[in-house]
Structure 1
Amino acid sequence: MTARLDTSPCPVPKWLPDRHSQTLYAALAASHHRIAFVRERVQTPDGDFLDFDWAGPGLSPNRVPPDASPAAVAIPEKVAATRWMTAHDWQSLPTLSETPALILFHGLEGGSSSRYAQSIGQYFRARGWVVVIGHFRGCSGHPNRLARAYYSGDSEEIGFMLQTVRARLPHARWHAVGVSLGGNALLKYLGEQGAAAGWLQACAGVSVPLDLVAAGICLSQGVINRQLYSRYFLRTMKKKVLEKASRYPGALDVGRIAHARDLREFDDAYTAPLHGFRNALDYWNRAACKPWLAHIAVPTLVLNARNDPFLPEPALPGPNECSDSVLLHQPAEGGHAGFPTGPFPGHLGWLPQRLARYFETQR
């Protein structure tokens, strides 16, 4: 049994001629529709918390519900969620068994304000879906409580987040999308669970670094990858971790973390030891989702542009490496988590439309 392979193009504009321009423009400048959310905070079994940003029929992010006061539900930080969820909000959401629902897992240092999350969220919400963005620890605008954070292979956390939203709307027809790091964790979870994840209608991984060793080496080499992308991620990652160090004296190697020059050095100093791995290479090998693609039983789209600057094309899986529940879509262009299209100034409409087509037709 093998996966299907789709190589049809993403029609990126000629004025974005290469992988870097497609990636950076989509992440930093491309036009997109905006969406506001209502936030729920969920306590985790280990004493931490996760923030879920909800949108859907019946939810009014900019209107205070009758069971609360403006001060009680206000979120002071500048995030895509405008207020906290109340009991009245849960009563307002649809409970019909045919209600379509989508949870999105963001990429490294992403969240509900990320352009891809905004674009996907608005597209599906406008079509009557319930949409929720599940934030990994420390990515919602609030520092998490523990010294640990999040990592690419945390399928246990994915399972907790999925069961949380399922418990909120148990009769909905749930779908899941993971972008980049979030996609790796989601696909690994789907492979580990096999048929047990069959309550999900369909899933998708977008621009997933399926082979974390190849991706990690790629991002740690070359002027643009090392000096631009890695520095961009490290800027916020270091800040968060060094803030944790002030709360957990002696638990973190502050010197190594502060002087990390690329993701390998950062993962060696922080991500690997804090999450049970020997070093970055051990982490990348054990957390990668690629070996799990053959065990996925839920209909799943795996979308990777062949010019993604974060993952070398030879590291992309072939049909014989995946189960027949998987559709591999590998267009030649699109960059990383971007897929911009249209005449200048362009837009991000292609990606949510591609996801919707797969969810509707599995093609």
Structure 2
Amino acid sequence: MAKLSLGSTFSIFHSRHIRPPLAGCHVTKMTVADHHPSLEVVGGARDRFLPSLHTNLRLPYNPFPLIAWNRHVETIFASFFRSIPQVRLRRECLRVKDGGSVALDWISGDHRRLPPDSPVLILLPGLTGGSQDSYVRHMLTKANGKGWRVVVFNSRGCGESPVTTPQFYSASFLGDTYEVVKHVGARYPEANLYAVGWSLGANILVRYLGKESHACPLSGAVSLCNPFNLVIADEDFHKGFNNVYDKALARALCKIFKKHALLFEDMGGEFNIPLAANAKSVRDFDEGLTRVSFGFKSVDDYYSNSSSCDSIKHVKRPLLCIQAENDPIAPSRAIPREDIEENPNCMLIVTPKGGHLGWVAGAEAPLGAPWTDPVVMDFLEYLERGASKTGKFLGDSEAVQRSSGELHHIEV
């Protein structure tokens, strides 16, 4: 089971000018393209974004019957049996300001094949996830097939990313995300930047969007299977069959930790290294290591202050959130529906089934890409068609110097 991964209004479009009707003429109210009733579609940006997604959303959500009848079956099937597209990647190890390292995996040859203004898509996998995961690979190949430059952001220790300091990543830590986006923007200053995040990666992405707000260099983003409220997610994580996921992710965290245990052997203070090294739950790992590393007084304090539900109201870039009503790891009741409905930059789609990172439905089910992939690409391509090519994020001289002096390339 260690394969599971947890995972002011801004508009980039021109206003539509409507001429007043002639006197005596009957005026018919125009409505946006509707969606199938099997889907929940809400948000302050619903009327703006829904027409671009009409091709997929007008159809009923038809889960694959032999798999999606149970949310746990669907979650596990997608994790273990979904196909993994084969693609050659070029790894770039980025050293960040505190001495830590992250790994950026690009599709090999794209730096020569694609024009410099091709849109760039940054992918943020879930907890312990990386470029090896099937859901990441499918999104990567889908976007690249449409001419997008794609890079997978492997967090510290994930996807065989090196750990060079006694600190991993967490739901609260945005420092690496800031530096990755800055570096990618400096490398491709003519391109628009976008991001897609899954599960914990989605939580981090939405928090980043909220923190950056008007200054965010991204032109749009997508959040998938976001737990949103980590306190609520933690409550459900210990119930019934969810213990299986909890133990699997704890084992995955321990495996990463033990590979780099020497970095942590002299940690004192509140650190409980034996608890982290032998954690039986994600909460154990967070108690022994994560919450202390990032300065929280308790695990609940860490979860409460690292949740992305409070960030939605501050998002000023186009954001599409897709959730499954029956997600066992990202509970539906944690979705900040009210804030999404009040934010003119956000739209939410909730499918009746899908499990966690499953969505075994659509034309490629059961072994191919999840149902969400074509929806995500329709949204991103709609944004790219309307995006302004001015005001690009250029990065600073430090980022440019780092790109030439502190990066090492290998093929994976």
Please report the TM-score for the alignment, with normalisation by the length of structure 2. Answer: 0.74
Give, as a single letter, the amino acid of the residue that structure 2 aligns with 1:182.
G
Structure 2: distance between partners of 1:266 and 1:180: 18
Structure 1: distance between partners of 2:89 and 2:336: 35
1:145 and 2:164 are equivalent in the alignment: yes
- In structure 2, the residue matched to 1:357 is 378
Task: Confirm or deny: 8 A CA contact 2:221 2:318 kept in the other structure.
Answer: yes
Structure 1: distance between partners of 2:209 and 2:161: 28
Structure 2: distance between partners of 1:295 and 1:119: 30
Deviation at 1:349, TM superposition (A): 4.3
Deviation at 1:180, TM superposition (A): 0.7
Task: Confirm or deny: 8 A CA contact 1:180 1:209 kept in the other structure.
Answer: yes
CA distance change for structure 1 residues 346 and 240 in 2, over 3 Å: closer, same or farther?
closer
Structure 2: distance between partners of 1:187 and 1:344: 28
Structure 1: distance between partners of 2:358 and 2:333: 20
For structure 1, which segment, 108-117 or 331-340, has the greater mean C-alpha deviation from structure 2 after superposition? 331-340
1:337 and 2:357 are equivalent in the alignment: yes
- In structure 1, the residue matched to 2:78 is 26
For structure 1, which segment, 169-178 or 311-320, has the greater mean C-alpha deviation from structure 2 after superposition? 311-320
Task: Confirm or deny: 8 A CA contact 2:199 2:330 kept in the other structure.
Answer: no
- In structure 1, the residue matched to 2:154 is 135
Q: Which runs of 5+ in 2 are unaligned?
A: 1-8, 10-42, 51-56, 384-412
Task: String of CA shifts for 1:289-334, please: whole Å, max 9, x gaps.
Answer: 1001011010000111111100222212214455110111111111
Structure 2: distance between partners of 1:133 and 1:10: 29
Deviation at 1:187, TM superposition (A): 0.3
Task: Confirm or deny: 8 A CA contact 1:100 1:174 kept in the other structure.
Answer: yes
Give the alignment's Cα RMSD to 1 decimal.
2.1
- In structure 2, the residue matched to 1:101 is 120
Structure 2: distance between partners of 1:32 and 1:261: 29
Task: String of CA shifts for 1:266-302, please: whole Å, max 9, x gaps.
Answer: 2111110012211210111111110010110100001
SS in 1 for 2:288: helix
CA distance change for structure 1 residues 359 and 344 in 2, over 3 Å: closer, same or farther?
closer
Structure 1: distance between partners of 2:161 and 2:207: 27
Deviation at 1:94, TM superposition (A): 3.6
Q: Greater Rg, structure 1 or structure 2? A: 2
1:200 and 2:210 are equivalent in the alignment: no
Task: String of CA shifts for 1:162-211, please: whole Å, max 9, x gaps.
Answer: 111111111112111011111101100101111111x3221001101101
1:290 and 2:341 are equivalent in the alignment: no
SS in 1 for 2:317: coil
- In structure 1, the residue matched to 2:204 is 185
CA distance change for structure 1 residues 113 and 243 in 2, over 3 Å: closer, same or farther?
closer
- The percentage of aligned residue pairs carrying the same residue is 27
Task: Confirm or deny: 8 A CA contact 2:156 2:169 kept in the other structure.
Answer: yes
Q: Give the one of 364, 367, 376 matched to 1:346.
A: 367
Structure 1: distance between partners of 2:252 and 2:185: 31
Task: Confirm or deny: 8 A CA contact 1:208 1:304 kept in the other structure.
Answer: yes
Deviation at 1:32, TM superposition (A): 4.6
Structure 2: distance between partners of 1:42 and 1:344: 36
CA distance change for structure 1 residues 276 and 189 in 2, over 3 Å: closer, same or farther?
same
Q: Give the one of 36, 44, 49 matched to 1:3.
A: 44
- In structure 2, the residue matched to 1:78 is none
SS in 1 for 2:290: helix
- In structure 1, the residue matched to 2:344 is 324
Give the count of matched residue pairs.
326
Task: Confirm or deny: 8 A CA contact 1:302 1:327 kept in the other structure.
Answer: yes
1:209 and 2:227 are equivalent in the alignment: yes
- In structure 2, the residue matched to 1:64 is none
- In structure 1, the residue matched to 2:66 is 15
Task: Confirm or deny: 8 A CA contact 1:3 1:328 kept in the other structure.
Answer: no
Task: Confirm or deny: 8 A CA contact 1:156 1:189 kept in the other structure.
Answer: no
Give, as a single letter, the amino acid of the residue that structure 2 aligns with 1:284.
Y
Q: Give the one of 140, 165, 173 matched to 2:184.
A: 165
Structure 1: distance between partners of 2:254 and 2:129: 15
1:231 and 2:250 are equivalent in the alignment: no
Structure 2: distance between partners of 1:337 and 1:344: 14
Give, as a single letter, the amino acid of the residue that structure 1 aligns with 2:200.
L
Deviation at 1:4, TM superposition (A): 4.7
Deviation at 1:236, TM superposition (A): 2.0
Task: Confirm or deny: 8 A CA contact 1:10 1:339 kept in the other structure.
Answer: no
Deviation at 1:125, TM superposition (A): 0.9
Task: String of CA shifts for 1:215-241, please: whole Å, max 9, x gaps.
Answer: 11211222x211x11111111211222
Structure 1: distance between partners of 2:298 and 2:239: 18
Please report the TM-score for the alignment, with normalisation by the length of structure 1. Answer: 0.84
Q: Which runs of 5+ in 1 are unaligned?
A: 60-89
